[in-house]
Every structure is written in structure tokens, then in C-alpha cells.
Amino acid sequence: MQTFSPSDSDLDTIAAILTSGEVVGLPTETVYGLAANALDPDAVAKIFAIKNRPANNPLIIHTGSGQDYSQWVGIPELARKLMDAFWPGPLTLVLPRKSPIPDCVTAGLPTVGIRMPAHPLMRAVLDRIPFPLAAPSANPSNYISPTRASHVKDGLKGRLNYLLDGGDCSFGIESTILGLRDPSDPVLLRPGPIPPEAIAEIIGVPVRLRNPSAITHDTPDSPGQMKVHYSPRTPLVIVEPSESTPPSCARIRIKPNPDQPTAHGHKEGCYYLSNNGNPADCARHLYSVLHHADHAGFDCILIDRLPETPDWLSLSDRIRRAASSSRKPKQ
């Protein structure tokens, strides 16, 4: 796998590689993406092949500030307000697609997710090309998302030829996805760094939280809808914080707590998502911690159940989809 630096000459080379129809691993502020020309069906097909991604799982397209994205999607006034407020940034809007976007990007749906990333290197690449980039996470389908270049190398060794190393991702989880197929009924399709309360404040309309049990998996209307997603190969089990840790298991906790025993009575095998219990810090470190625990040779990974409050919504969503099972507290 050829790894590029953030130099201008390397960015020019990456733009040329993408223009030729190849796939490149690129950093974003959320997670690393597996990027290709979203208007080229052959290039998009390579994304699906590299990831072993189901064809019925649609992709998000990424646009730059210098691109006229109105040629790819219909933009209602509500969407304009959100673009002005949160772009560039981790907000994906699912909007009516226009004809240049091929069916393979949208799984044949009449809509497509679009966002303008904030990562300076991703923006620099987009500034060098005239087309949007389809870019799902740069990992094997359903595996833990990558938040640093080494995760991409480990997961796609032998499958991906080109990678831009942009350091660690600042948010560490995927973008918020908002469905605007009906602008009068905005729907949170995937929670993320931008909370629904912040969206509602901008548009003056409540954001409906969709019940996960109502999602059909025949053709999801956006990424991040699969029941099993973001999963380590080692079984991940959600448990109560008070539950003890068997010697054969790793343990993931929100933060260090002197009242809680560490795994096996010492620090080996015990991982913390943060030092202070801040939800954003925990989200930033979740995938990196899961990668570490998954490669540590344990039989299973136990992760503490999170608080059931709005500020933990996005992290709870990722852990629920990543987990093999969840042990309920005894009544």
C-alpha cells in the first residue's frame, strides 16, 4: 500500500489517481474514507469490491466548497440553512438525487446522502477535482471503523493500493445523517457529532428520531442502518458497570473510577474511553480502543452500558450495533 504525505505534490498525485478511476484511503474529521469518483460507476464498483460491501447499502458523496453540488442533489430551503450552519462538518443530508449520480451510489434509491467534510486534507483533495467523492469508511464491511492510517493498513492490506496519512480523526465517529426527503418531517437516520437538538434550533422544526426496529434492511435509505455494524472480530458484550471481568475478557469503561475494579485487578486488559467521562472524548476514542482490544488476544470484550441520556445517543448507537449481545441488569 503506497502511503502519501500531506505535501502539495502528493495531493496533486492523489487527485490524478482519483481522476483515473482508482480508489484512495483519505482522512476525514469523522473516520477514514475509501474514496472514489462518485460519478464513475466503475470506480464506485471498486469501493464495494475492496470493502466487500453489499450493493444494497448506499454511499455518501462528499463535496468541496468550490463545487456546485446543486447539480447532484435537489436542495430545499431547510437544507440550505443546515449547510450554512454546519458545513463544512460532520452533517450528512439525504436529499433528492439528480441524474449525474449513478444508481450504484444510491442502491437505486431516489435520494443520496451528501456532506462537505471539514478535514483540511480531504478538502484540499476535493479542491483539486471537479467531481464528488463517494467515500464509505475505509475498512472491511461491518468491521470497526478506522480513525488513523494504521487501522486502514491493517484492515485493507492487499486490497487497497493508495492511502493518505492525515493523522488521527478529530471526531472519531461517523457523521450525523439527517433525512430530508420530506422537508416538513426531518428524520435522524444516524446519530453523530451534531446532535438533533442543534439541528432543530437552526431549522425551527423538531427532528424525529426513527425507531431502529422500523428500519428495513432490504435497501437501507442511508449508511449506518445495518443491525450489525462497526463490530470487532472478538465478541463484544454490553454489561453493567458493576459486573466483574473474567480473566479471559478485556474490559472497556467510560473512565477510570477507584470504586470500580480494573480488569483482573490490574490495568492490563482494561481500556478507558476517556479520562473524564466526556461523551465527545469517549466517541473520539471508541474505535481506537476497540481496535486495541480486538488485537489483544482475549476471548471476549466487555463494555460498560452507557447512560441513557441524549448526549450519549451517538455512542450508544455505535456500541449497540457493534455488540454481539447485551446482558440486561437483574430485576
Q: How far is CA 148 from CA 16, 154, 169, 179, 316, in A?
A: 23, 10, 7, 29, 22
pLDDT score at 181: 87
Q: pLDDT by residue (tens digit) across 105-152?
A: 999 999 999 999 999 999 999 999 999 999 999 999 999 999 999 999
Q: Tell me how far apart the alpha carbons of residues 256 and 262 are, in angstroms, rounded to a whole number.
A: 9
Q: Tell me how far apart the alpha carbons of residues 218 and 299 are, in angstroms, rounded to a whole number.
A: 32
Kindly write down the DSSP assignment for every residue of 231-256, as one continuous string.
B-SS-EEEE-TTS---TTEEEEESS-
Residue ranges matching CATH 3.90.870.10 in the chain: 2-214
Q: pLDDT by residue (tens digit) across 239-292?
A: 999 999 999 999 999 998 766 655 444 456 899 999 999 999 999 999 999 999
Cβ atoms within 10 Å, residue 55: 12
Give the mean pLDDT of 87-113.
Answer: 97
Q: Cell for 70?
A: 446543486
Say how many residues make up the chain: 331
pTM: 0.92
Q: Tell me how far apart the alpha carbons of residues 183 and 208 are, in angstroms, rounded to a whole number.
A: 12
Do 15 and 129 touch, CB atoms closer than 8 A? yes
Do 233 and 143 touch, CB atoms closer than 8 A? yes
**Amino acid symbol at 236:** L
Do 293 and 144 touch, CB atoms closer than 8 A? no
Q: Tell me how far apart the alpha carbons of residues 80 and 117 are, in angstroms, rounded to a whole number.
A: 16
CATH architecture of 2-214: Alpha-Beta Complex (3.90)
